[in-house]
Amino acid sequence: MAFELPALPYAYDALGPFMSAETLEFHHDKHHQAYVTNGNNLLKDSGLEGLSLEEVVKQSYGKNAGLFNNAGQHYNHIHFWNWMKKDGGGKKIPGRLEAAIASDLGGYDKFKADFIAAGTTQFGSGWAWLSVKDGKLEISKTPNGENPLVHGASPILGVDVWEHSYYIDYRNARPKYLEAFVDSLINWDYVAEMYEAATK
């Protein structure tokens, strides 16, 4: 199946002032489009053409770096757009997920501190994650386009810490961007949907 660029689930200016229309235009229309275009070119004759995106990511890992990088970033970004919404963030978390954050991660405040720390300490480009592994929530970070799928986990929330995700709005203040993401942008309903799917 060919990779396709999904439409944003909101207007370019919907996430202001925490993420600008300019950032979303460049990030979605240019960067994500490039992962789709390059991924489709690299998918041809790879032997993985008929697989789901998740399987392309898993099976190209460690074997086909170019395809893995672009497929991984395509997967990450499809969800990244949905992990954000206008008036999101904060402690408005659906009950079962909230209970899991309390039992597995020590509660919302500790989750927030540890998630922001993961994003802040990811050297260079990469992502910070909340995932389900062996039935439990865990926080991790990965370089470049890598994601928890290739480490036996199911990502349910991720934040992009490549500079193109925040530099227009926050310059080099990555921790401020991460705080704004957690406090004001997370779409907890979408995270909860992915949590339910990962814990079936």
Rounded to 5°, angle at Cα 68 from 169 and 168: 5
Identity of the amino acid at 161: V
Total number of residues shown for the chain: 200
Q: Could you tell me the two tokens for 35?
A: 């992962």
Rounded to 5°, angle at Cα 151 from 148 and 156: 25
Is residue 74 part of an annotated ligand binding site?
Answer: no
Q: Could you tell me the two tokens for 60?
A: 């190209």
Is residue 31 part of an annotated ligand binding site?
Answer: no
Is residue 164 part of an annotated ligand binding site?
Answer: yes
Indicate the helix (H) or strand (E) that contains 154. strand 154-160
Rounded to an integer, what distance in angstroms lies between the CA atom of residue 100 and that of residue 152?
A: 19
Of 111, 102, 95, 76, the C-alpha closest to 189 is 95
Is residue 87 part of an annotated ligand binding site?
Answer: no
Per 3-state DSSP, the chain is made up of helix, strand and coil in percentages (nearest 5) of: 55, 10, 35
Rounded to an integer, what distance in angstroms lies between the CA atom of residue 25 and that of residue 60?
A: 29
List of residues 6+ apart from 125 with CB closer than 8 A: 143, 144, 161, 162, 163
| Residue positions forming the annotated binding site | 27, 77, 160, 164
Binding-site annotation, residues for Mn(2+): 27, 77, 160, 164
